[in-house]
Structure 1
Amino acid sequence: MNSNQLKLSPAAADCVNQMVFVSGMPRTGTTVLGNLIGSFSNIDYHFEPPMIKALLGYLETGSLQANEFKFLFETYCFEELLVPHLAGRTLNFNTHDDSYIKNFLSEEELKKRLGKSHRKRTIEAEAKAYRLAIKMPASLLEMAALQNIYPEFIKIITYRNFNDVLHSILKKAWFAPEHLSVNGPTLLYPYLIYKDLKIPSCIPKKYHSSFVEADELHKAVIYYISQYEALGKIRRFIFIRYENFTQAPLEISKQLAKQLKVELTDKSLAIIDQIKPLEYRHEELPIEASWQSRLDEIESNFQGLNTGSVVNNIEG
């Protein structure tokens, strides 16, 4: 055994091995689904932890050795996310934020965390009863890389018709010239610099030239395609089509809780009660034929899949 290899509590590896990871394109219901999962019994939920995206970027690009990544990732997930959250030290009480703690945590659970000071030796033991859950959109490539190190973690992937998603991305101007300029504000991270333009690191190199040359709409298309192409590399995931989920939220929530081996809470039922059916808008966009064909192919891959079902694999 290498005496120079740093070690953590075995509980840190267990935390990551059994975690729930929710991802999909932005605007596909990941926030609603994350809040719902965060309300389930014995779940400790985290909304888009910035360091997760950074670490996964290094993993996907091969910039870190597996043992280096494991040490950093497990330290962050266990010592920075799970333990202090259970101890009530890192709860967000800003009511305007999506990560506002009362969006998903019950008053009973909140009082449990804030009712006393938690010592490390006791909180680590208590942490064994909880499953870490993370929501991080646009991380399917990184999810595929992560499963090679942690094959047992639970992957939940959301989907929504591409026209609805692309309309939303255009409205937010993620790929407007001023946001991709090297000196402009950064909306998507981590990123690479290619021909003096910021390119999200989740976009494969094979698309870099096309991305640089594309207009704002087709940059969004490439971003979308890059994500769902990764499905061909992902093994065994729970599929959630957002439109279908909003039509039957209670039924699908019960199914999801059963798969995670947890229970719905009163908070879960309150969240479900606020979910309204989503209309199929599908306003068509002027997408070039070659890219439209690829989008249609991705859409066809999801046809016939039941929302809430476990998918062993899918062609990307």
Structure 2
Amino acid sequence: MQYELAERQLQNIQDTVIITGCPRSGTSVFGQIISTFEGMEYHYEPQIVHILMRLLERNEISKNIAFLLLRMYLHEDLLVESAHARRVNLRPNDTTLILNSMPWKELIHRWSSIANTADALAYINERNLRVAIKTINVIGFISNLREALPEAKFLLILRDGRDVVYSLLQRNWLTDEALQHHYWPYKFVDGHRVPDRVDDDTAERWVAMKPIDRACYLWRRDAESSIQAMSGQRRDELHVIRYEALLSDPEPLLADVARFLVSRMTDQTYPMVRSLRPYKPRDSYAFLDEADPKEFKRFREVNEALGYRW
């Protein structure tokens, strides 16, 4: 037996927007800006997307089931629920506060006028609403996501690997203790938690790595996937955004993104753009001297391949 969504449901998610990049590359702030674009129903890091793609890669789930679950989740749990405004975040100092993305007037209108699923579907079609998700860890799965959602648009954020590694070290996410909580899901090697994104061939070596080498390795893996994605996707499918350019001159860059998405900026967009701090290159990257020479060499080669010259 084969299950599939109704044609109307498939139509509603066909042009899903997927924002991705490596951790600490600027995906969160960029996703918040995209959440203000016209018609975007934005969702922050739905983990099930990565899990389904990982299970599919490991042949632990069939393509048909993985795609079905993904499509159902995007439509029923994200788009329809978002149109209802049932799960809004109203915490004042939270970066995903719904009022950063839409005004009170719109939120109250949804609460007062959308009573059931039929109302939500009518509203989705009336306003041409579409799902936008920000999710790291899926750069390497773009080809499968493209197959599941043939008209999806991908926004790929790139950032100088040196700044990413510095930020990861400042966050202190890659010590053995911190890895009890970060870079989930895990696999276990000799009783140690190893991020699932680490190659099986590298997993044993990972256990003995210093945090700086772990940071260089993880960024490089994502950057290599980015290079592969950029070489294999059409320009009408994937749009690349440089984090440095976003901070330095955001409005022309965002106007270009809006054209790519066939959307537009709104009154909610501009306050968020004005809140961006200008990009300032670091004076020194001496902390990279502590990296393992072999890991650093590979890191530098990939960073230069992305256009970030020493």
TM-score (norm 2): 0.88
Instruction: Tell me if the contact between 1:37 and 1:43 (Cα under 8 Å) persists in the aligned partners.
Output: yes
Counterpart in 2 of 1:283? Answer: 285
For residues 56-75 of structure 1, the aligned pairs below 5 Å read: 56-75=53-72
Secondary structure of 2:113's counterpart equals: coil
Secondary structure of 1:133's counterpart equals: strand
Alignment partner of 1:201 is 2:193: no
Q: Distance in 1 between matches of 2:58 and 2:89?
A: 32
Counterpart in 2 of 1:134? Answer: 133
Partner amino acid for 2:281? Y
For residues 165-314 of structure 1, the aligned pairs below 5 Å read: 165-180=164-179, 185-234=180-229, 235-236=233-234, 237-281=238-282, 283-284=285-286, 285-286=288-289, 287-303=291-307
Deviation string for 1:95-129 (max 9, x for gaps)? 23332212222334323322323321231233241
Q: Distance in 2 between matches of 1:15 and 1:63?
A: 28
Which consecutive aligned stretches of 4+ in structure 1 deviate over 4 angstroms post-superposition? none
Shift of 1:79: 0.4
Q: Distance in 2 between matches of 1:294 and 1:145?
A: 27
Counterpart in 2 of 1:101? Answer: 98
Instruction: Tell me if the contact between 2:174 and 2:215 (Cα under 8 Å) persists in the aligned partners.
Output: yes
What fraction of aligned residue pairs are identical, expressed as a percent?
A: 24
**Number of residues paired by the alignment?**
297
Counterpart in 2 of 1:156? Answer: 155
Moved more, 273-282 or 252-261: 273-282
Deviation string for 1:5-57 (max 9, x for gaps)? 22322233334431111111222111111111110001111111233333233
Structure 1 residues 12 and 55, CA, compared in 2 at 3 Å: closer, same or farther?
farther
Partner amino acid for 1:96? N
For structure 2, which runs of at least 5 residues remain unmatched after alignment? none
Q: Distance in 2 between matches of 1:213 and 1:159?
A: 28
Structure 1 residues 68 and 124, CA, compared in 2 at 3 Å: closer, same or farther?
same
Q: Distance in 2 between matches of 1:265 and 1:214?
A: 46
Q: CA RMSD in A?
A: 2.0
Shift of 1:142: 3.0
Shift of 1:151: 3.9
Instruction: Tell me if the contact between 2:36 and 2:266 (Cα under 8 Å) persists in the aligned partners.
Output: yes
Partner amino acid for 2:305? N
Partner amino acid for 1:136? T
Structure 1 residues 249 and 191, CA, compared in 2 at 3 Å: closer, same or farther?
same
Instruction: Tell me if the contact between 1:141 and 1:202 (Cα under 8 Å) persists in the aligned partners.
Output: no
Counterpart in 2 of 1:312? Answer: none
